[in-house]
Amino acid sequence: MNKILIIYTGGTIGMVNDSNGILVPFDFEQIKDNVPELGRLNYHLDVHSFHPVIDSSNMDPIIWKTLAELIYRKYDLYDGFVILHGSDTMAFTASALSFMLENLAKPVVLTGSQLPIGQIRTDAKENLITALEIAATKEDGKALVPEVCIYFDAQLFRGNRSIKYNIEKFEAFRSPNYPVLAEAGVHLQFYKNYILKAPDGKLNLRTNFNANIGVLKLYPGITPQAVQAITDSKVDAIIMETFGSGNTTTAEWFLGCLKQAIDNGKIIVDISQCKKGSVQLGRYETSRELQKMGVLSGHDLTFEATVTKLMFVMGLGLPVKESSKLMEKSIRGEMTPDNV
């Protein structure tokens, strides 16, 4: 019998209406009473609930560390893990866990819902049941999906490739630069070529995150004051959201701000404001100077993966040169380098 640990952090999926019609979290220890279909899966299910439950808008590296440590402690006891999580920051948590859990060889599937589990038209039950099936699926005795994933509305995505793009439809998530890992129709269809291979090494836990990051989003007409508020601040790294394939204004004052920040030891990672596609520094004249001064290419990283990867890499305490190399290298399948 497959053993799965359900970790309930909070979110819409665990809400029911109280006597006053107000949405409140229910006790997930009684999950089988609320979702009786689970009994037909013939799995051994245990539940770990956060007390108090957490609105996903309040997620932070401390909570990610708690989640990663829980999985690490329980790792040998279960075949897979399903994390019930609010959808707003689910992609951030999935990305963070992918970096924290090095040499992961078992499924960690995050899911949630757009409607509370107690509502008639809820998407919660299907998402939960299928996430459990994915977490339990094996081939030749080994987990078929040995990575951190998000399952939502019949599709399984790599966690660090996912974004939340819709707040009104059940189809809340997309993976703009990487194919889906599986689809749930009449049968569960896994696309094995896109799933990470199981590692040989032992699971390692890496939870030292440095969250001292600034974000500089460019727009036509941006002022020196707005840019300097980020580049002159006491952050250790900057995510720069640029135009198209990594382009910025070529104004001397702007390039000077970036160069000064780099000279002061800050890491600057260039990602595109476009959801699909990849940064290609040097392709156009407007990004050639960035490449020369040492701005790093984020390739096709999502914003969520860039944030969490930067926190992770800076938390390793490496010299800037080594940290920069790691940022431009795929370490958990989170990006597609130019030479691939």
Active site residues: 12
- DSSP symbol at 64: H
- Half-sphere CA count of 143, side-chain side, radius 13 A: 28
DSSP one-letter string for 277-297 = S---TTSSHHHHHHHHHTPEE
Q: Give strand pairing partners of 268.
A: 238
Count CB neighbours of 85 within 10 A: 28
Cβ(80)–Cβ(87) under 8 Å? no
User: What is the spatial distance between Cα 131 and Cα 125, in angstroms, rounded to a whole number?
Assistant: 10
The terminus-to-terminus CA distance of the chain in angstroms comes to 40
* Alpha helix stretches (DSSP H) within 3-87: 31-34, 61-74
Compute the residue count for the chain: 340
SS (H, E, C) 118-150: CCCCCCHHHHHHHHHHHHHCEECCEECCCCEEE
* Rounded CA separation 134/172 (Å): 19
Contact 53, 45 (CB under 8 A): no
In this structure, what is the dihedral angle of CA atoms 321, 323, 324, 326, given to the nearest 10 degrees? Answer: 130
> Could you tell me if 304 and 92 are in contact, meaning their C-beta atoms sit under 8 angstroms apart?
yes
Q: How distant is the alpha carbon of residue 293 from its chain centre?
A: 29
Alpha helices in 207-284 (DSSP H): 224-231, 252-263
User: Could you tell me the two tokens for 268?
Assistant: 């600057």
Q: Cα(140)–Cα(143) distance, rounded to whole angstroms?
A: 8
